Chain A
Amino acid sequence: MAWHPLVLSLQVASLATVVVLVVGLGLALLLARARFPGRSVVDALVNLPLVLPPSVLGFYLLFVLGRGGPVRDLLGINILFTWMAAVIASATVALPLMVRTSKAAIESVDPNLEKAARTLGVPEWRVIKEVTVPLASRGIVAGLVLAFARALGEFGATLMVAGNIPGRTQTAPLAIYDLVQSNRIREANVLVLIMTVVSFVVLLGVGRWQKTWWR
């Protein structure tokens, strides 16, 4: 039994979650609180990965990351068919879950609390950091957990941009697919069970944490 796909999956999902936290929280704050032209367009674009087939998404990512794309030609790095491509694919697919959940949480924070903070002489970045984000933290954490779970199970887009190279880019979902294809059901069974338990424990843990939160 090879543990590599499982370890890789956890690593990829964790890194993707970090990316999603930074990008997703920024987008959520922007969409929830800022008023700018084209806001609804940005909102729709962010949510697009939710409805697009993973293969279509993977196809776009091939263009962005591949030859002639900005990442390879401008930055001079090739990440196609490496574990980094798996991170980007997972993050892209997971992003809308984070943005939607945390945007709703931020919108539900009483704007008077932010105004009160401003009248107390607190600059905007501190208002966001010390009032808005802490008060929306439940929704933000919920978004992160959903994003992590989604990233952990990413299959389609990852296959397109990272491939299915055993020992290098083969994540657990891809490994399960391979194992079933080659009729190694017992080994597939173990991986399936572990994936299920990990996901379940994460969701359970967050549910408990939210109950003991200050509210």
Chain B
Amino acid sequence: MLSLDFRKRIGDFQLEVSLEVGEEVLVLFGPSGSGKTSILNCIAGLVTPDEGRISLDGEVIFETVRGRVLRNVPTHRRRLGYVFQDYALFPHMTVAQNMAYGVRGQPDAQQRVETMVRTMRLDNLEGRYPRQLSGGQQQRVAIGRALVTRPRSLLLDEPFSALDTMVRDRLQRDLVELQESWRLPVVYVTHSLGDAFALGHRIAVVNEGHIEQLGPKEQVLNSPSSRAVARFTGARNIFEARVVQSTPGGLTLEWRGHRLAAPPAPLAVGAQTTFCIRPEQIMLLRGSDHPEAPSPASRAENAFWGQITDEISRGATVSLFFRLDDSASDGYDLEVSLPIHVYSRFHLDTRKRIAVSLKKESIRIISEYRQEDRH
């Protein structure tokens, strides 16, 4: 169990962290420069917080009382594993020497290194130097080197950011397995939503030095607590609306001159609120569920006609930029993401007129409403 509660002034923002990490992978997710790496450095003792308390398995490794540092265990006695973004392998040491460096002089060092070499699938590479290894192999040496020392917690700073997708997928699975067999608190820093979801049990969204939202990953994705979280997690369509009706069954919102059915939320009629809908949750409508379909029962809820103004292919999906028919804006109103096979089946292209539905249950009400988004 790793418990953090500290503050540190860094540049022009205040780092403020208060959370506990059990035997799980906690992902610190946020944009570059949000302070994620600084949090890791504070845990590892590479950076000294201004005040607060950090403890690991019940041992206090950092503590201040009334602004004075009472306890600050030096990095080399914290028994934490740290995997750096650029791996930080020692270029003058072989794979085996790198892995053995943290256990040098210990009686069972050789055996532990040999076991770790096998666990990390580095057999036959022990004699190589880091520069003779691929990125994925270097990454495995870095993780193995940290784990050989039997750390009480593992800290990883964007470890997969420089790797190609296939290697990354494999390493993600490796890491999940390692965490499960070692039962360690793992803190994983990333700005990649994919990494965050592949690895994290819980996600802490970091923004400008503070934890914007902390929760199970599905919750963070599906119920962002703020506009910032919605933006970081790729909600794309984030809007302001006014509540015109509020019942236990749901809200009715007024948005850009349209009525929208939304899930229930404790909001009064007349209140302003923020809501969002992920681009992959917007549905493309066909024949029978069109807003103008003959049978009212088959008509989709929250359906709108409009035009595709632009599109970007993203490989497996296509992003369409959709402008409502009666839109007051010059640009687009909604971003819609479709799998490529749907895109080709509908024979879609720019300028084509289509109908979409913002399904009620896909609409997320963001409880806090801010006049202006934080930047």
**A→B interface (CB under 8 Å):** 110, 112-113, 115-124, 130-131, 134-135, 214-215
B171 part of interface (Cβ distance < 8 Å): no
Among B20-28, B82-90, B191-199, B211-219, the stretch that binds chain A is B82-90
B374 part of interface (Cβ distance < 8 Å): no
Q: Report the bound CA distance from A135 to B130 in whole Å.
A: 14
* Given pairs A115-B75, A135-B90, 7 additional interface contacts (CB within 8 A): A112-B86, A113-B88, A118-B46, A118-B75, A119-B146, A120-B76, A121-B76
User: Assuming the A-B contacts A115-B46, A116-B82, are A121 and B88 also in contact, with contact meaning beta carbons closer than 8 angstroms in the complex?
Assistant: no
Given A110, A122, A134, A215, which contacts B101 in the complex, CB threshold below 8 Å?
A122
User: Assuming the A-B contacts A115-B75, A122-B101, are A215 and B84 also in contact, with contact meaning beta carbons closer than 8 angstroms in the complex?
Assistant: no
Residue of B nearest to A120 (CB): B102
Instruction: Check if A116 sits within 8 Å of B88, measured CB to CB.
Output: yes
Chain B residues with CB below 8 A from A124, complex form: 76
Instruction: Check if A119 sits within 8 Å of B82, measured CB to CB.
Output: yes
Given B46, B91, B146, B149, which contacts A214 in the complex, CB threshold below 8 Å?
B91
Classify chain B's interface size.
Answer: 20 to 34
User: Assuming the A-B contacts A121-B149, A122-B76, are A131 and B90 also in contact, with contact meaning beta carbons closer than 8 angstroms in the complex?
Assistant: yes
Q: Report the bound CA distance from A129 to B210 in whole Å.
A: 38
Instruction: Check if B145 sits within 8 Å of A120, measured CB to CB.
Output: yes
Chain A residues with CB below 8 A from B89, complex form: 116
Would you call the interface of chain A mostly helix, strand, loop, or mixed? helix
Chain A residues with CB below 8 A from B86, complex form: 110, 112
B224 part of interface (Cβ distance < 8 Å): no
Identify 24 residue pairs between A and B in the complex whose beta-carbon atoms are under 8 Å apart, listed by A's number. A110-B88, A113-B90, A115-B75, A115-B82, A116-B82, A116-B84, A116-B88, A117-B90, A117-B101, A119-B44, A119-B78, A119-B81, A119-B146, A120-B76, A120-B102, A121-B76, A121-B79, A121-B102, A121-B149, A122-B101, A123-B76, A130-B101, A134-B92, A135-B92
Would you call the interface of chain B mostly helix, strand, loop, or mixed? loop
Residue of B nearest to A131 (CB): B90
Residue of B nearest to A214 (CB): B92
User: Assuming the A-B contacts A122-B76, A214-B129, are A115 and B102 also in contact, with contact meaning beta carbons closer than 8 angstroms in the complex?
Assistant: no
Chain A residues with CB below 8 A from B145, complex form: 120
**B→A interface (CB under 8 Å):** 44-46, 74-82, 84, 86, 88-92, 101-102, 129, 145-146, 149
Instruction: Check if B84 sits within 8 Å of A118, measured CB to CB.
Output: no
User: Closest Cβ of chain A: how far from B321's Cβ, in Å?
Assistant: 42
In the complex, which of the residues B44, B74, B88 has the most CB atoms of chain A within 10 Å of its own CB atom? B88
Chain B residues with CB below 8 A from A119, complex form: 44, 46, 75-76, 78, 80-82, 146
User: Closest Cβ of chain A: how far from B357's Cβ, in Å?
Assistant: 50
Instruction: Check if B149 sits within 8 Å of A115, measured CB to CB.
Output: no
Chain B residues with CB below 8 A from A113, complex form: 88, 90-91
Chain A residues with CB below 8 A from B79, complex form: 121
Across the A-B interface, the 7 shortest Cβ-Cβ residue pairs: A120-B102, A116-B88, A119-B82, A118-B75, A112-B88, A118-B76, A121-B76
Residue of A nearest to B142 (CB): A116
User: Closest Cβ of chain B: how far from A131's Cβ, in Å?
Assistant: 6
In the complex, which of the residues A120, A122, A123 has the most CB atoms of chain B within 10 Å of its own CB atom? A120
Q: Report the bound CA distance from A146 to B305 in whole Å.
A: 79
In the complex, which of the residues B74, B76, B86, B89 has the most CB atoms of chain A within 10 Å of its own CB atom? B76
Q: Report the bound CA distance from A143 to B223 in whole Å.
A: 61
Chain B residues with CB below 8 A from A214, complex form: 91-92, 129
Instruction: Check if A120 sits within 8 Å of B149, measured CB to CB.
Output: yes
Q: Report the bound CA distance from A214 to B93 in whole Å.
A: 10
In the complex, which of the residues B74, B79, B92, B145 has the most CB atoms of chain A within 10 Å of its own CB atom? B92
Q: Report the bound CA distance from A20 to B68 in whole Å.
A: 41
Chain A residues with CB below 8 A from B44, complex form: 115, 119
Chain B residues with CB below 8 A from A110, complex form: 86, 88
